[in-house]
Homo-oligomer: A and B are copies of this chain.
Amino acid sequence: MKRKELLLRSSLWMQEAENSPVVMSSRIRLARNLENVPFPHSLSAERSEQVARIIAQVLDSVDVEGDRLTYLPLTELSPIELQVLIEKHLISADLANAKRERGVALTHDHRVAIMVNEEDHLRMQVLLPGDQLREAYRLADSLDDGIEERLDFAYREAQGYLTACPTNVGTGMRASVMVHLPALVMTNQVQHLLGTLTHLGLAVRGLYGEGSQALGHLFQVSNQITLGKSEEDIIAHLEAVTGQIVGMELQARENLLQQARLVLEDKVWRARGMLQNARLLSSADAMLYLSQDRLGTDLGILPKSGQTFAELLVDSNQGCLQYKLNRELDSQQRDEQRANQIRAAFAAANGR
């Protein structure tokens, strides 16, 4: 598979999962480090190359339930390609910006993405559509076992897996779900809800990190504690809280339908009208309208469009836009291309 094809294809997590109108995706990330090798930030250039080479060789031969990994050394990628990987949630901005030898190994459907020489030697991510934390963990665990057969991970009986940052010591696991909460945002309940989550040992971030909470009405909820809890505990806790969040969002939607159906219908139809007609769409406008449109589609008010909410959101980011068109775009050109692309996706969905 050519690199451009691999990067541009729709990631598995972007598919709409059946019966999961609120939980968009589920993610498990395991941090692992090689025994007797300094953490990446302490490695010399030469040593980081050596470490990346060793790991890449192992990853090249790992079987992921019949699928293979493709290893991409980041030094070979253009800034726009790095941007695309970040926008698709396949690498972190930290990995993109690091100077040392580093890379990412991907399955063709992006459900597995393993960062090499990020903060830790390996960060294995499994990212699935919908509410599938346990399936994601099952796959991550099996992947972890397969790799551990070939690499010696730093592990201490008392502490568990060693990691560069103490917040990851123990299981080395971060579990997270991405939830779509438009009705809780519309009814001004979301800030209070999210505030309470931090008291439960959970972190909340926006679609693209801390500063982007409102964008697309999407929120990532993840565990903050990795030490002294089993993987099972972490997942059970996050699942329970997620279940409550889902319940609140669905209740808020029901309340809107009961108490303000026409206002709600007006809002989602107007969003559809903007997506089908605008000739310039800023990123913030696009995310707002796409979110409202997905709410309308979920509630059966709007006909479905040709692409999923996540695909439309991700593809309208500037990296993806420019990579697809194969040229640099200034701000207005991006707004124009974003509008064109979204309009094309909605042209099939009859807006009347």
Give per-residue flags for A249-282: 1 if the beta carbon is below 8 A from chain B beta carbons, else 0.
Answer: 0000000000000110110011011101111100
Whole-angstrom distance from the CB of A158 to the nearest CB of chain B?
62
Closest to A346 in B: B352
Q: Is there a chain B Cβ closer than 8 Å to A336's Cβ? A: yes
Confirm or deny: A351 has a beta carbon within 8 angstroms of a beta carbon on chain B: yes
Is A270 in contact with B277, judged by CB distance below 8 angstroms?
A: yes
Tell me the number of copies of this protein: 2
Main secondary structure, interface of A, reads: helix
CB contact between A276 and one of B265, B280, B351 (< 8 Å): that residue:
B351
**Contact residue among B262, B336, B343 (Cβ-Cβ distance under 8 Å from A262):** B336
Q: Are A266 and B339 in contact (CB under 8 A)?
A: yes
Which B residues lie within 8 Å of A278 (CB)?
A: 266, 269-270, 273
A193 contacts the other chain (Cβ, under 8 Å)?
no
Among B280, B332, B343, B351, point to the contact of A277 (Cβ < 8 A).
B351
Chain B nearest CB, measured from A87 CB (Å)? 24
Distance (whole angstroms) from the CB of A337 to the closest CB of chain B: 11
A339 to B267, CA, bound (A): 13
Is residue A284 contacting chain B, with contact meaning CB distance below 8 A?
no
Enumerate chain A interface residues (CB-CB to B < 8 A). Answer: 262-263, 265-266, 269-270, 272-274, 276-280, 332, 336, 339, 343, 347, 351-352
